[in-house]
Chain A
Amino acid sequence: SQTIHQWPATLVQPVGSPLSLECTVEGTSNPNLYWYRQAAGRGLQLLFYSVGIGQISSEVPQNLSASRPQDRQFILSSKKLLLSDSGFYLCAWTPERNVYGYTFGSGTRLTVV
């Protein structure tokens, strides 16, 4: 069966520090991968998505970047965190558009102080 792993679960980082959040999927090949962010009390905002290794599309200009070094690995990064980067970050995957529901990871609660 397919599973998605996301870590860490919580993270407190000072302003100006780097960030690296990792997401991996098991039990499938060539998944579509997504990073979402949810600010407190708000909906989910799509940040990045990837349909294959090295293929990254960004939805909004921001202080973050994403990479997909392997088929089932998706990494969210920042060189220098801002206070506004605080939020709940979710990784998701789907094997095929419109056929199966999207499966989300358990999320990372990032607090920038």
Chain B
Amino acid sequence: LAKTTQPVSMDSYEGQEVNITCSHNNIATNDYITWYQQFPSQGPRFIIQGYKTKVTNEVASLFIPADRKSSTLSLPRVSLSDTAVYYCLGNRDDKIIFGKGTRLHILP
């Protein structure tokens, strides 16, 4: 079981870069690391997924060290609309298990 641990909450300011780190000590060799974003009363939305090193898309970057026991989601130049809960996901068989997520609050 790949249990994940991430900070409960974080605050940042508009225009700043935000990094959220997740630990997943028991991640399986063939498991990917996936991050989701959830706004209130909405389903989680896929942000980014990676296996190792660095992945970048139009929304975020994902940094994964060689041992894959942790990952860091990087959000460049956040805005108020990035206020949400961010989940780092672990996998078990064919299921994904959500942790409690990180509640990110962006301040003006």
Report the interface size class on chain B: 20 to 34
Report the interface size class on chain A: 20 to 34
How far is A34 from B45 in the complex, measured between Cα atoms in Å? 15
Contact (Cβ within 8 A) A90 B43: yes
Residue of A nearest to B101 (CB): A43
Grouping DSSP codes into helix (H, G, I), strand (E, B) and loop, the A interface class, with mixed when no group exceeds half, is strand
Contact (Cβ within 8 A) B94 A107: no
Residue of A nearest to B89 (CB): A102
Q: Is B70 an interface residue (CB 8 A)?
A: no
Complex contacts, A88 vs chain B, CB 8 Å: 41
Contact (Cβ within 8 A) B95 A49: yes
Q: Is A53 an interface residue (CB 8 A)?
A: no
**Which residues in B have some Cβ–Cβ distance to A below 8 Å?**
30-32, 34, 36, 41-46, 49, 87, 91, 93-101
